[in-house]
Amino acid sequence: MTSDSPVGPETGLETSPEAGLEGERLQKVMAAAGVASRRVSEDLIGAGRVTVNGDVVTEPGRRVLPTDLITVDGTAIQLDTTRRYLMLNKPVGVVSSLADERGRPDLRQYTENYEERVFNVGRLDSQTSGLLVLTNDGDLAHVLAHPSFGVSKTYIAKVQGDVSGRTLNLLTAGIELDDGPIAADKAKVIGKPSAGQSMVEIEIHSGRNHIVRRMLAEVGHPVVELVRRQFGPLHLGSLGVGQIRDLTKVELGQILTLSRNAIEPREDNG
């Protein structure tokens, strides 16, 4: 990109002088976003697999603006190349902060090599490890973190004792804590108890502090270890403890689609 090639104020995508206020050709924008080459993007458009602002587009020459919402096969794509989306497998002992005032190990050690100033989406307490999302996309972060959007999280907990089916039913039916009632979306035991401990998988969409630990303690099974394995459509997979990486194109499409689907009905309803 040359110094005299204008750049959109929010996207970082090159805007050719002849495009003016009409935007860029759809296939060029798709290629710049990493969807596919221009030729393949033209084929996708011609096959009716691309939408712009909810409308199917079949003409490759369609011009789009940086603010347009584009999907391919129903999956959203990000036009704003200044946005960064990262997944960290947070270790135990690291606090979910970019500047801990008490001097404890924090997230800066994982983010300092990135040019963008990213921030963590929600928190994991220092003794909980696992999947933490970091981004500079405030709209997406709001949807992922705010409990009103109901984005689920899945945890694996090693707990004391032998967890019965009755206890699992109690967790999903709902229990009363000091700050109100709470219920897990799903709960199951993984494997068989060993050495007086059980492994429990819990899916929950609440954002209340220490909620999984408090729930399991309330039903008589204090947590020994806790790992978050899934956040919305994102899975920790084989990412090692203390490792960080960019989301894949597929993962990014999944969370962008989730975010846009969560926000649009609220906008339509005023």
Which has more pLDDT, 261 or 267? 261
Is there a contact between 140 and 261 (Cβ–Cβ < 8 Å)? no
Is there a contact between 189 and 168 (Cβ–Cβ < 8 Å)? yes
Q: Considering the candidates 80, 100, 125, 185, report the single residue annotated as catalytic.
A: 125
What the block records as the tokens of 27 is: 């296939």
All structural domains of the chain: 17-76 (3.10.290.10), 85-246 (3.30.2350.10)
User: Looking at residue 50, what DSSP letter applies?
Assistant: E
Q: Is the pLDDT of residue 120 over 90?
A: yes
**pLDDT per residue as tens digits for the range 138-164:** 989 999 988 788 899 999 999 999 999
Report the range out of 13-27, 33-47, 156-170, 248-262 with the highest average pLDDT.
156-170
**pLDDT per residue as tens digits for the range 96-108:** 999 888 889 999 9
pLDDT score of 12: 42
Q: Is the dihedral of CA 99, 232, 239, 211 positive or negative?
A: positive
Q: pLDDT-based confidence at 264, cuts 50/70/90?
A: low
Examine the residue annotation and report whether 73 is marked as an active-site residue of this protein.
no
What the block records as the tokens of 214 is: 């408090």
Cα separation, 36 vs 39, in Å, equals 8
